[in-house]
């Protein structure tokens, strides 16, 4: 395993805007968040790790609850006015990203999200990847599963990540266990995905933050990239700050919402502004560049319908 400093320019040449697929991963290739070799721990934050294969097999997800109640459905869309519409790191750019989803209430006070991410990567190569997210009673992600393959491990999938208190545990799945990748990344503070970006991962991060106008929250963001066949998974953990800015009414998905606003600051990136509903649903993410003439980039909820309050 090789370690590289996060300041290395060779890995920082990709755009510093919305890192999405925004799942991608969360997906994006759609990989929605994967991680490190079994038994290997990330010892440097704000650093990078290049990971090869592991013999660990993917951990299976628990069975679905037999009784489910449909609560809501919606769709996220990413808009990028510059860069020919591309978002994401070099070599993994995605275009025309849409994520449609349905939210269900399960027994025991938990929730589940079923959805499909559609995008092009590279341009004119269409993808449609199903995903499944299990959420706690406060809508914080517990487990994510994406029915897709790694770029450099075709014998892979589904891709699964578990969000533990102090660790992200991800598995690639594989019929040949020698080709499987099993990843454990220690985390210190509340965390979420930067790349691929997941709307539900970001909203879960805001749910863990204190809404204090005078004190920012230390957080961590995990990026998962797929550089090459020799290094199929590269993980980067960055420290940042999430600051609650107050409440305001915003118009999203043809509705007016009373929203919580947050500022997300990550070294070497412009500031992100995030709005969530009072129940914790992500409404909008915009990138705030210092140059007012910089092309706009954002992710928004563009369609929403609900059958019950949540």
Q: What is the pLDDT of residues 184-223, one digit of tens each?
A: 999 999 999 887 768 999 999 999 889 999 999 999 999 8
The pLDDT tens digits of the residues spanning 146-160 come to 888 888 888 887 989
Q: How confident is the model at residue 32 (pLDDT cuts 50, 70, 90)?
A: very low
Query: How much is the pLDDT for 179?
Result: 81
As a whole-number percent, the residues of the chain with pLDDT over 70 amount to 78
Q: Furthest-apart CA pair in the chain: how many Å?
A: 52
Higher pLDDT among residues 188 and 5, named by residue:
188
pLDDT at 185: 95
- Model pLDDT, residue 227: 87
Residue 72, token pair as written in the block: 């809501």
| Per-residue model confidence (pLDDT) at position 66 | 58
Q: What is the mean pLDDT of residues 1-5?
A: 33
- Report pLDDT for 290: 85
> Quick check: 39 pLDDT over 60?
no
Q: Where are the domains of the chain?
A: 2-6+18-306
- What was the pLDDT predicted at 196? 75
pTM over 0.95: no
pLDDT one-digit tens code per residue, 64-121 = 445 889 999 999 999 988 888 877 777 778 899 999 999 999 987 899 999 999 988 8
């Amino acid at each position: 395993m090789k370690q590289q400093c996060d300041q290395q320019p060779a890995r920082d040449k990709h755009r510093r805007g919305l890192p999405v697929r925004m799942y991608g991963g969360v997906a994006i290739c759609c990989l929605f968040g994967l991680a490190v070799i079994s038994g290997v721990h990330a010892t440097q934050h704000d650093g990078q790790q290049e990971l090869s294969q592991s013999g660990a097999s993917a951990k299976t997800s628990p069975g679905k609850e037999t009784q489910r109640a449909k609560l809501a459905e919606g769709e996220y869309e990413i808009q990028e006015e510059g860069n020919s519409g591309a978002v994401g790191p070099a070599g993994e750019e995605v275009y025309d990203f849409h994520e449609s989803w349905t939210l269900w209430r399960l027994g025991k006070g938990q929730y589940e999200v079923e959805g499909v991410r559609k995008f092009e990567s590279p341009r004119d190569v269409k993808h449609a990847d199903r995903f499944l997210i299990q959420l706690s009673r406060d809508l914080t992600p517990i487990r994510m599963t994406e029915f897709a393959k790694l770029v450099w491990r075709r014998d892979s999938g589904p891709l699964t990540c578990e969000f533990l208190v102090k660790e992200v545990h991800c598995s690639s799945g594989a019929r040949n266990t020698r080709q499987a990748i099993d990843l454990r990344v220690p985390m210190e503070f509340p965390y979420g995905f930067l790349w691929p970006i997941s709307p539900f991962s970001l909203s879960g991060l805001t749910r863990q933050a204190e809404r204090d106008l005078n004190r920012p929250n230390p957080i961590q963001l995990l990026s998962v990239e797929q550089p090459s066949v020799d290094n199929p998974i590269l993980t980067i953990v960055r420290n940042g700050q999430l600051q609650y800015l107050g409440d305001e009414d915003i118009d999203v998905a043809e509705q007016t919402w009373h929203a919580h606003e947050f500022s997300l600051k990550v070294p070497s990136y412009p500031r992100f502004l995030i709005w969530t509903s009072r129940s914790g649903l992500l409404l909008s993410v915009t990138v705030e560049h210092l140059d007012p003439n910089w092309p706009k980039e954002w992710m928004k909820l563009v369609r929403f319908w609900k059958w019950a309050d949540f």
